[in-house]
């Protein structure tokens, strides 16, 4: 599984990345977590508001830092 956290490094973006790592750890799943900070790359994915969360190439959330529980629900 590939998880991408889209954002330029704002507090919400950092929180989403932290929550994604925690969710993956708690679910004990094999997942690669990548931070995408390039505005061009973020826009190519169709995301206009950060932070964004992408799972296996599908944008699943934009504009808010999901909680660990919300991320776990999306991944399981």
Domains and CATH numbers, the chain: 2-75 (3.40.30.10)
Catalytically active residues are 10, 13
For residues 39 and 8, is the Cβ–Cβ distance under 8 A?
yes
Digit-by-digit pLDDT tens for the chain (76 residues) are 999 999 998 999 999 999 999 999 999 999 999 999 999 999 999 999 999 999 999 999 999 999 999 999 999 8
Q: Which spans in 6-76 are helix H?
A: 11-27, 39-44, 68-75
Question: SS3 for 73?
Answer: helix
pTM, 2 dp: 0.94
């Amino acid at each position: 599984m590939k998880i991408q956290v889209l954002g330029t490094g704002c507090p919400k973006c950092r929180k989403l990345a932290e929550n994604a790592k925690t969710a993956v750890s708690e679910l004990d799943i094999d997942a690669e977590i990548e931070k995408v900070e390039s505005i061009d790359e973020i826009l190519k994915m169709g995301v206009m508001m950060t932070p964004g969360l992408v799972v296996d190439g599908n944008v699943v959330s934009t504009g808010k830092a999901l909680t660990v529980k919300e991320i776990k629900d999306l991944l399981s």
